[in-house]
Every structure is written in structure tokens, then in C-alpha cells.
Amino acid sequence: MEKKRDTKRKIIQAALEIFPELGFENTSMRLIAEKCGITKPAVYYYFKNKNELFQGLVSIGHDHSIHRIGQIAESDISIQKKLTEILLMRFKVFPKHPKVKKFIGWTFTNGGKFFETNDFLENIDEFKNMLIDIIQTAIDNKELSNSLNVEHFVAIIIGTSNYYSKQHFIFDLPPLSQEKAENIVNILLNGAL
């Protein structure tokens, strides 16, 4: 069982490196197998085609983000701290893994066109709905005004997160700092009270 996990991990690591270097069209299962030092049929054992492998990489990032937002939502911290943690979560994990950082930067530019539309839209909706639940809970707990337009507020949070993510992952600018995230959240919350 450990050997299977190790082989799959090698395939994922190779794909994270090759997709951004060569692009989707020029990446092949053969190249990934060669990079891993395994046979091409071994790659097909784990992923039936290149598209499934690419979607698998995207799903890993999505699943991690959803898990982290769930932890934040369940925590007993203030709405201010929850929103700050949500803005910072991409910058705390992904930059520690250079291949992942490069893959994310590539997906923001050329790689994004290879997302399976329905899966991608479902992922966005899941993320958005979790944020809506967090904001609605804060409204119910009287941390935020009940006159707040939750959908618009969530769109601003997502837009802010994407803006700073693109700066970091595409242009290699410094990640969003704790202080800057706190300032952004304070501005948003002051307008939402």
C-alpha cells in the first residue's frame, strides 16, 4: 500500500513540475512516467488520462482549501480573525512548496483554460457557500449588521484573495502579510457594521 501511495505521490510531483514548464498541450503521460522513473502503464493505473491527472492536481488544492475553511468556520475566533485567516491561507501553505506555487501561477495564466468547467464552477460555489455561511453566522451572532448584502461582501473577499494571490503566484511579489490582511479585513468590516 505504501508503494502505491509513493508512486502516486511521484506522479503528482512530476505533473506539478511538468505542466507549468511545458504547458498542458506539450505535457504527456510518457514524459511524466519518465520523470518518475516508472512505466507509462503505471501512470495510467492511477490516472486514466492527462486531463484526469490535471483535474486531480486542481482537486488536491481545492480539497485542502475547503478543509482549511471548514476549520476556520468551526473555530471560536472572531469574524475579523476568521476573515484574516481566510485571506492568508493560500500564503501559509502553498509557497512552502515551490512546485505547487509554480503550478498555481501557471493555472492563473494559461492553465486555467483546461479546468473542467462544471467541476471548476462547483468548486467556486462550494468555496463561496462556505464563506456565505461564515458571514451569515456572524450576522446571526450580531458581529455584523443584518443589512449587509452577504453575496456582495463574499464577492469582495474572494476578489481580494484572488488579487493578492495573482500578485504573489504570477508576479512573485511578496505574499500578503498578516498586518496587511488585518488592515484589509478592518476596512471591510468597518464598512459592513
In this structure, what DSSP letter does residue 37 have?
Answer: T
Summarize the confidence of residues 163-172 as an average pLDDT. 87
pLDDT band at 25 (very low <50, low <70, confident <90, very high): very high
Overall pTM surpassing 0.85 (yes/no) = no
Would the pLDDT of 188 be above 70? yes
Residues 42 and 33: beta-carbon distance below 8 Å: yes
Q: What is the pLDDT of residue 111?
A: 67
CA distances from 83 to 69, 77, 130, 134, 182 (A): 10, 10, 12, 9, 9
Q: What is the pLDDT of residue 98?
A: 82
Closest CA to 88 of 149, 156, 168: 168
Residues 50 and 18: beta-carbon distance below 8 Å: no
In sequence order, which ranges of the chain are alpha helices (DSSP H)? 2-26, 29-36, 40-46, 50-74, 79-93, 98-108, 117-140, 150-169, 178-192
pLDDT per residue over 26-74, tens digit each? 999 999 999 999 999 999 999 999 999 998 888 888 888 899 999 999 9
Q: Is 76 helix (H, G, I), strand (E, B) or coil?
A: coil
Summarize the confidence of residues 138-153 as an average pLDDT. 93
Residue count of the chain: 193
Mean pLDDT, the chain, integer: 88
Domains of the chain: 1-48 (1.10.10.60), 51-192 (1.10.357.10)
